A and B are shown apart, each in its own frame.
Chain A
Amino acid sequence: MEQKWELLSSTNEDREKIWTKNRTFAGDVWFRFRRKPTAIAGFVIIVLLVCFAVFGPFFTKYSYSDQNLEVVNIPPVMKVYEAPDGEGYLYITQSLKVVYVNPDGTLGEQLTRVRSEDDQMMTIFDCNGTEVALYYGQKPYVIADQETKIIYPSTTMWNRSYILGTDALGRDILTRLMYGTRISLLVAFIAAGVNMVIGILYGGISGYTGGNTDTIMMRIVDIISTIPLTLYVILIMVLMGNGLHSIIIALGSVYWVDMARVVRGQMLSLKGQEFVLAARTIGSSTKTILLEHLIPNAMGSILVTVTMLIPSAIFMEAFLGYVGIGLQPPLASLGTMCNDATANLRTCPYQLFIPALMICMIMFAFNFVGDGLRDALDPKLKK
């Protein structure tokens, strides 16, 4: 019979050998993180969004501030009428102009107005030599043959010039969305970074020193957190004026409160653990203990708090933009785009829908990643 089991030599090397692969802490976290589909989805979305915001503007021919008043408020999906030349299409803008649409869906020239026949509620335009009539007597407005009054057949088609349409000033929404996402992410990452540094320092000192210092520092945090943070941010913004730098300063100087609490809590629980006591009995310096023992071990909770802080910073920035104390036009941020869109919300809902969807996606993605990280960093869930 075949020998299924054989005796291993019992040398020291075999006995003490660790058979698992050498896996670092980060590798271990990644291993657990990637088994959670929502977390991975969130992570992929964030990567895509960052690429979209960083590299997107290189691939668009428009700039965020380019205005083209001929193509104002054109949606991504247009209702068009066949042009009399049999090839192109005609699109009626909200200001009752007619734009020629090429057969491939790109926008052409605005048609020149020949005359208006107010008694028949018609405006006559010149389409490559043929006269077409825009009838505005009742909704929906239609384009008809000037003489026979036969309405041209209509169809819907995608806007290939402005994939996500244009806004009230004829600016490309896709381009503005890229810049807006870029600014939102920039604000969020910088604010999160600043908060992290302040929070770690403040909470670290408070928690590690302990005693009366801790009590006083934490009472200050309590006082700060009783006043709504939104109020602070608005006050700071009013004081410092509009602009990217003041948003970053305002968000960065306020949101560290939660971070400080988390870090302090971690410090309090870690500094009593045996490996920290061991470092003290060894005679390691306070710097070593903080930088090599306490902070790396608190990093898990810090990371989770940061990923949870980023969406709230993004939302705050959008909110500030929306109430009008954010960025100065023509700079785009998701909030200012929403704000611009409310003016003609009834006629062009897509202008609000697109940036709002982007805000939702960013917030979902970061929340999912934060959730996944928390589970991945929790050593109790280790399998």
Chain B
Amino acid sequence: MEFVLEEIMSESIVLEVRNLTKHFKVGSSGKQVVHAVDNVSFRLAKGKTLGLVGESGCGKSSCARTIIRIYEPTSGRIILDGQDITELNQKALQPVRKKMQMIFQDPYASLNARMTVRDIIAEPLVAHHIVKKKDQANDWVYPMLERVGLTKEHANRYAHEFSGGQRQRVGIARALILQPDLVICDEPISALDVSIQAQVVNLLKDFQEEKGISYLFIAHDLSMVRYVSDDVGVMYLGQLVEICEADEIYKNPLHPYTKGLLGSIPIANPKLAREKEKSSIEGDIPSPINPPRGCRFHTRCPYARPVCSQEAPEMKEAGPGHMVACHLY
């Protein structure tokens, strides 16, 4: 009986995104738009991690910021814990924000340099009226600091005194102190040293096991994503081109762009590296103001066919749980 319940719980969806679209107006006339996010749909189950990868400028961060409603979505639906939050205004969003938090990419820019670490971590508590004033928050802040490997002596320090890894852990503490259901990690490790990356990722994983948090984990390299994610989605020019289980995407990448991305992961062993097929993607990412007609990847795709420049491919199931948007399948 308990087992069944757990099964249902694990299958419960924390975040569902349906046809999410975000266009930014460019210039004063507002006629041109940047297609930052186009028609992105996915689901994220409780306690799971969805990795979102793609090269710079493909709309990963815009997608994250639209989901957390810093940006207003152009169209589509965002459903958090069964509640549609797409249309809520900022005031109505306030209680919802408790359930979703964000960890930012740049640990130097994401912490206010004029605040002590205690104030930074206590800010969510004050915003959601759990404590009245920041100096009453020590009972929450100290255990959290120790939990992320810092000490309570650090509480009175200013953010600029910390190293990058320490700062990112402060950022994590701030995001997790409200015990949210969903944490959006916007490239939380890409600004850190490799040795620190593992530390931060392990910390995130520990929290997930403990509290059953779901992560939307955004990164631009596939190597770390493989380690953290249950599912991986690949984005190209604002669109989701492939999404499936993490292991599956590494063993059996279908979309030519995914193959290209995987080919770009450096391999430590030079012998293996030489044997590896050269499948790097050539050319630059096209302008998101004027995305190519048809399949957006056809300008760089080595397997492009005439149909690719005419018709946009639909997302279809190419294998069990393996969705891909490509005319080849």
Contact = CB atoms under 8 A, between A and B. Distances in A.
Given A274-B110, A282-B124, 15 more contacts: A13-B151, A18-B162, A275-B111, A277-B102, A277-B104, A277-B110, A278-B110, A278-B174, A281-B100, A282-B174, A283-B97, A283-B98, A283-B124, A285-B127, A288-B123
Contact of A280 (B70, B100, B151, B153): B70
Interface string B72-116: 000000000000000000000110011011101110011111110
The interface centre, meaning the residue of A12, A280, A285, A379 with most chain B CB atoms within 10 A of its CB, is A280
B149 A275 contact: no
A17 B98 CA distance: 31
Nearest to A18: B161
A274 B93 contact: no
Interface string B148-169: 0111011011101110001000
A181 to B, nearest CB: 34
B68 interface: yes
A273 B112 CA distance: 10
A25 B156 CA distance: 12
B132 interface: no
B113 A297 contact: yes
B133 interface: no
Interface in A1-47: 12-13, 16-18, 20, 22-25
A293 interface: yes
A20 B154 CA distance: 12
B65 interface: yes
A382 to B, nearest CB: 8
Nearest to A275: B112
| The 6 A-B residue pairs with the shortest CB-CB distance in the complex, in nearest-first order | A283-B97, A274-B110, A296-B114, A274-B109, A284-B127, A274-B104
Contacts of A279: 112, 123
Most chain B C-beta atoms within 10 Å of own C-beta, residue among A273, A274, A299: A274
B128 interface: yes
B94 A20 contact: no
Contacts of B100: 281
A292 interface: yes
B93 A283 contact: yes
A281 B126 CA distance: 14
Contacts, number: 86
Given A13-B151, A16-B149, A283-B127, A25 B113 contact: yes
B94 A18 contact: no
- Taking each of A275, A279, A297, A379, which has the highest tally of chain B beta carbons within 10 Å of its own beta carbon? A275
A16 B97 contact: no
B159 to A, nearest CB: 9
A274 B184 CA distance: 14
B98 to A, nearest CB: 7
7 contacts: A12-B149, A275-B109, A278-B171, A281-B97, A282-B123, A283-B98, A292-B115
Contacts of A296: 112, 114
Contact of B114 (A12, A13, A278, A297): A297
Given A22-B156, A283-B128, A16 B166 contact: yes
A22 B162 CA distance: 11
B150 A283 contact: no
A18 B154 contact: yes
Interface string B124-157: 1011100000000000000000000111011011
Contacts of B151: 12-13, 16
Chain A, interface size category, equals 20 to 34
A280 B110 CA distance: 12
Contacts of A274: 104-106, 109-110
Interface of A: 12-13, 16-18, 20, 22-25, 273-275, 277-285, 288, 292-293, 296-297, 299, 379
Interface of B: 65, 68, 70, 93-94, 97-98, 100-102, 104-106, 109-115, 119, 123-124, 126-128, 149-151, 153-154, 156-158, 160-162, 166, 171, 174
A281 B70 contact: yes
Contacts of B111: 275, 278
Contacts of B97: 281-283
B104 A22 contact: no
Contacts of B105: 274
B161 A273 contact: no
A16 B123 contact: no
B158 A24 contact: yes
Contacts of A297: 112-114
A281 B68 contact: yes
B158 A25 contact: yes
A291 to B, nearest CB: 11
Contacts of B127: 282-285, 288
B310 to A, nearest CB: 39
A288 B120 CA distance: 12
A283 B149 contact: no
Contacts of B68: 281
A12 to B, nearest CB: 6
A281 B97 CA distance: 7
B154 to A, nearest CB: 7
A299 B128 CA distance: 27
A377 to B, nearest CB: 11
B235 to A, nearest CB: 20
A18 B157 contact: yes
Given A13-B151, A16-B166, A23-B161, A277 B115 contact: no
Contact of B110 (A16, A22, A275, A292): A275
A24 B156 CA distance: 9
A338 to B, nearest CB: 43
A299 B112 CA distance: 13
Contacts of B161: 18, 20, 22-23
